[in-house]
Amino acid sequence: MKALSLEAPLQWRRLDIPAPAMPGPGEALVRVDTVGICGTDLSGYLGKMPFFSYPRIPGHELGVEVVAVGSGVTQVAPGDRCAVEPYINCQQCYACRRGHTNCCEKHQTLGVHCDGGLRPQFLVPARKLHISRQLSYEQLALVETLAIGCHAVNRSGLQAHESCLIIGAGPIGLATLEFVKLTGAKTIVLDMHPGRLEFCRRVMGVTQTLQPSSQLEQELRDLTDGHLPDVVIDATGNNQSMSNAFGLITHAGRLVFVGITTDIVQFKHPQFHRPEGTLLCSRNALSADFTRIIRLIEEGRLDTGPWITHRTRFDELIEVFPLFTRPETGVIKAVVEVGA
Ligand SMILES: [Zn+2]
Ligand SMILES: [Zn+2]
């Protein structure tokens, strides 16, 4: 069975691996149809992802078909199309026992901490499969990306009468935008690339977009009745942007970090204490987020149309992959057809 592995940063390798065993109790054997490529995979390739270990078969955004199930599995059956929740949790630690399965103390993301979906078949805990009878495999492969944004907006507690600034209009920022829009809150997007802001206005229906400038605070006040945003969600993963964001919330506002940096983030304490700010991090997503997103797409309330900009075949991925690391290629989401 063919598989694609990152042996080390910048170093892909084609592997021949044995076919998986039949599923044990609670497991399912799945056939991988479609894999989404995301920032984590690009950072893993570039050697910039702190949680990524090598060698590794990447792939955590997955549209799969169930091939076989082990004993005790009743929620899925052979032939079912599913999205995979790639966050493997221990079910026993203090976080898991309190329902915080997204930040399990022994958390492993498929394709990051353990092998993922760039292979024709693999075994997965059946409880991590989310069925849809309507969605295509490509749509199912998008659910995980969307879940990152969904969880970040849930963390913020954003309400319809409030305003929200999203910093960074890459894939995580766009996923966040989908769920900010669903709250009905006033939405502002900030990014340094005019092309990305143009995409937000033309395709995502955003009316207020800003580029970084020395006037930023005043521009934000102008857009929020003289206040600043109730919620700021930073999806850049850039420590400068994240440090600046402490000064952009209104009184009693919330700041959410959904991007990750390995650098130091710093702020002057009075600046964040005076408005009694709340800082929240958002990591991964919960099972309920996957269920909700599948339903939203099925009901036509969430349009996946604009998302996929590039498609590639499994056989040609290694050759085209470096292209996806360059923002000027206009890639939002590339998907790999692993196929039958
Ligand atoms: Zn992802
Ligand atoms: Zn746990």
**Rounded Cα gap, residues 25 and 23, in angstroms:** 7
Of the listed ligands, the closest to the CA of 93 is 2
pLDDT at position 325 is 87
The 10s digit of each residue's pLDDT in 178-236 is 999 999 999 999 999 999 999 999 999 999 999 999 999 999 999 999 999 999 999 99
Token pair 């792939």 is found at 59
Choose among 211, 219, 224: nearest CA to 168: 211
Token pair of 70 as six digits: 């082990």
Q: How far apart are CA 38 and CA 321, in angstroms?
A: 11
CA of 149 to the centre of ligand 1 (A): 11
Q: What is the pLDDT of residue 52?
A: 87
Distance between Cα 87 and ligand 2 center (Å): 10
Residue whose C-alpha is closest to residue 85's, from 58, 117, 104, 60: 60
User: Which pLDDT score is estimated for 332?
Assistant: 87
Summarize pLDDT for 139-182 with one digit per residue, the tens: 999 999 999 999 999 999 999 999 999 999 999 999 999 999 99
Q: Say if CB 160 and CB 229 are below 8 A apart.
A: no
Res 340: pLDDT: 56
List of the chain residues with pLDDT < 50:
none
Q: Which residues contact 276 (CB under 8 A, 6 or more apart)?
A: 251, 252
SS3 per-residue string spanning 289-338:
HHHHHHHHHHCCCCCCCCCEEEEEEHHHHHHHHHHHCCHHHCCCEEEEEC
Centre of ligand 1 to C-alpha 152, Å, is 14
Put residue 276 in one of left, alpha, beta given phi > 0 → left and psi -120 to 50 → alpha: left
**Ligand 2 centroid vs 160 CA: distance in angstroms?**
34
Q: How far is the CA of 37 from the centre of ligand 1 (A)?
A: 7
Ligand 2 centroid to 102 CA: how many Å? 9
d(CA 38, CA 43): 9
Q: Residue 71: is it exposed, middle or buried by C-beta count within 10 angstroms (0-12/13-18/19+)?
A: exposed
Distance 103 CA to ligand 2 centre (A): 7
Ligand nearest to the CA of 105: 2
Which domains does the chain possess?
A: 2-131+305-337 (3.90.180.10), 154-281 (3.40.50.720)
Ligand nearest to the CA of 96: 2
**Ion ligand 2 residue ranges (Cβ < 5 Å):** 89-90, 93, 96, 104
Q: Residue 222 C-alpha to ligand 1 middle, in angstroms?
A: 35
**Joined tokens for residue 295:** 């339903």
Ligand number with the minimum distance to the CA of 43: 1
Q: Which two tokens stand for residue 311?
A: 């498609």
| Sign of the alpha-carbon dihedral angle for 307, 312, 313, 317 | negative
The three-point CA angle 327-169-187 to 5° equals: 160
